Every structure is written in C-alpha cells, then in structure tokens.
Chain A
Amino acid sequence: MRHWWWKIAAIALLFTASVAGLYIPLSPALVHVSPDRFGAGLVKVQVTGYNTRFHSDVAVRLENGGDTFCPAQVEVLDATHLELTLVVPAGLREAMTDLVVGDLRYPGAFYTKGGGEGFPAMDCGDAIPVEEEQHFTFPNRSILYESIRNLHFHVPMWFTMVALMSLSVWHSIKGLGSNSLEHDRAAVGAVDVGLWFCALGLLTGALWARATWGTFWTNDVKLNGAAVTALIYLAYLVLRASVTDPAKRARLSAIYNIFAFALLVLFLFVVPRINAVDSLHPGNGGNSGFSDLDLDNRLRIVFYPAVAGWVLLGLWMADLRIRMARLSEQLDR
C-alpha cells in the first residue's frame, strides 16, 4: 500500500475533533433573567444559569452606571436557578443594569428608563466562583450557546471546498501545459467532490443561521458570495457536458476553471473583508472574529484538527473519484 498514512490521519483527526467538538462542555454563564425590566421598588427576579452550580454563599450584585446595589435576599432554587428579591433604588443612572453572580457577569441584564443621580454604594461581598472546578470548556456566548460547536463542523466544509478547488485549478494549469487528459480527470474529480462540500456548507450554514440570525438566508456578503461561487462551479460542469471532444473539453474547461478559481478567491476572501460591507460572519466586514472572543484559544485546539481531518477526507474522496473515472475510461477503450 503506497501513501496510506494520510488516510489513517484523516480518520484519526476527524474522530478526535468530532468527539471533542461535541463532548467538551460550555463554560458556565448567566443566560436569562425574568423579568428583564423593572422600576424602582420591590421586585422578584428569577435568574437562569447554564452549566452553573449555584450555591448558598454565592455573592450577587447589580451594577448600574458605576453604582452597585445588592439583592435584599438571594434564594438558591437549584444549581441553575436563583430567585433574587430586589429593592431597586430610585436614581439608576443608566438604562442597562449588569448582573454579577459570583465570577459570572450578564452585561445589560436589566432595562430601566435611566436618568437618575445615582445611589449610595453597597458592598455585596466577595465574588466566590460559581464553578469551583476549572476544566477545559468552550466559550459560552449569548445567542450562540451550544451551537458554537458548529464551528467544528460547518466551517471545515468550506476549508475542504477551497482545498479541493485549489487542487483542481492546479491540475488545470498543469493540464494546459502538458495537454494531458490525466490532469483534466483530476481537475473535474476535485470540483465534483468540492461541490458536495459546498452544498453541505450552504445547508449546514442555513440551519445555523436559522438558530442564531433567525432566518435560513440573509443577504450577507459571504452567503451571496458562496452561492455565486457554487453557481460558477456548476457552470463548469455544464460547460464540460456541452463539449464532446475530450482534448477540446480539457483545454476549454481548464481555462474556465482558472477564471472560476479567481472569482472564488474574490467572492469568499476579498469582497467579504471590505470594511465598507457589513457581514454577519465573524472576521468579516468589520465584524470581530472568533479569535477576538476566545483569547485562550479553546476553540482553536479542536478547530484546526477538524479542518485538517475534513480536508484530508475531501482529498481522499476526490482521489477515489479520480481513480474511478480513470478505470471507467479504460473500460470504454
């Protein structure tokens, strides 16, 4: 068996990254308060945590415009629920009030109409961590929550597609120089598998978008760019099907493929990064990337092996596809 090691690597990387991507818990966070609007006076608030272990000596405070006030009573209902009895002072300076439970902060948890002059500060005690054991966790971002794990599944689809399209354009350029049909077979095999990954990227992205942005499709630059790229590569296959002479087909489609790849780079990497364009995707159009959100690189440790695994699997699939096409042509002869 020649060069089999990378296939083992593909399986090992995919297995490790998929298990880790699904298994590693989210870090504890405050996710919900009810009610989230109050005025001055007595109010009872229920606080919901995620992956928290609330205990009876947890310190709770509310921060408004630099002033701090403490709940009159904190009742621990269970590990993820608190009931606060608040005596909200008049004179809240700002509309948004932060909630701090132990070492967890919920910025802008409560809304009131601001405009007060402040109130005397209170001391609510020291911040005892809500979660004592600090094991390896993924960041717990509001709106995303558990769906942050999709980073390890949705994004590698696109990395794999770009890798396969790069392989394809490399074969197209080599094919133009050598006039060999072997390069043509490799180019179309890579595009064929690349389009599957493109389709999976679009569909998984649509599902994730529904759960985070509220809609399957938005006019985001990166979404439209990806859709146009998919159409360009579909046209590559249509173009090939319309030419019968193999040598002519190889030359024509190789030239088209070079233009297609240039457009892929433009639509997926250049246009979305223009600052004048707004994008919902992290790292695009003035939107911050995941690297800004998790400074301790907790996601990267799983994300990069996942990308490597999926790219290797994609290359393996293209390899099978190309070898099958070669055999098929030998049968025709």
Chain B
Amino acid sequence: MDLLHIHPILLQAAPSWLEQSLHGNGKINVVVAVVGLIVLGLGLWMWRMDLRLKRMEERQPK
C-alpha cells in the first residue's frame, strides 16, 4: 500500500473557527454578527450619553 499517498482534500487547510462561524447555515451567521454589532454600538452610545448626563448632574448647583 502506498502510505505516502495523501488524498488532495486532506491537503486543504482546515477552515478557521471564524470562517466556519461566518459561513455556517447559508451565511446567516454573518447577519447575526452584523445585527449584534449594531446593537452593541447603540448600547455603547447610550452608555456614553449616560456618562455625560452623570457629569452634568454632578455639576448641577445643589
């Protein structure tokens, strides 16, 4: 038996975890990632507005 023979499919590099997660299920995962990122961005904006308001409240004359 020819032990040195490697099937061509084994020579292809295994896809990274990222590639697998972005390409899964007809690439719906990249949509989930994009929507999640947008919600995260809006959340960060809310956080920053909260901080600004807090600083204003602290400056308010008692």
Contacts and interface: CB of A to CB of B under 8 A. Distances in A.
A166 B4 CA distance: 65
A146 B56 CA distance: 45
A150 B52 CA distance: 32
Contacts of A95: none
B34 A150 contact: yes
Contacts of B26: 26, 31, 50, 145-146
Which of A154, A211, A321 has the most chain B CB atoms inside 10 A of its CB?
A211
Given A211-B30, A328-B52, A153 B35 contact: yes
Given A146-B27, A327-B56, A196 B41 contact: yes
Interface in B14-32: 18-19, 22-23, 25-31
A26 B31 CA distance: 13
A146 B30 CA distance: 8
Main secondary structure of the interface of B (DSSP, over half): helix
A200 B34 CA distance: 9
Contacts of B35: 18, 22, 153
B59 to A, nearest CB: 5
Contact of A200 (B18, B28, B38, B56): B38
Interface in A301-333: 317, 320-321, 324, 327-328, 331-332
Given A149-B31, A150-B31, A200 B22 contact: no
Interface residues of B, number: 24
Interface string A202-218: 01100110111000000
Interface string A1-30: 000000000000000001000100010000
Contact of B22 (A153, A204, A207, A332): A207
A146 B49 contact: no
Given A208-B34, A331-B59, A324 B27 contact: no
Contacts of A275: none
Given A196-B41, A199-B41, A210 B22 contact: yes
Interface of A: 18, 22, 26, 31, 50, 144-147, 149-150, 153-154, 157, 193, 196, 199-200, 203-204, 207-208, 210-212, 317, 320-321, 324, 327-328, 331-332
8 smallest A-B Cβ distances: which pairs?
A146-B28, A211-B30, A147-B27, A211-B22, A145-B26, A146-B26, A204-B34, A200-B41
Given A149-B28, A154-B34, 6 more contacts: A144-B27, A146-B25, A146-B31, A153-B31, A204-B37, A207-B37
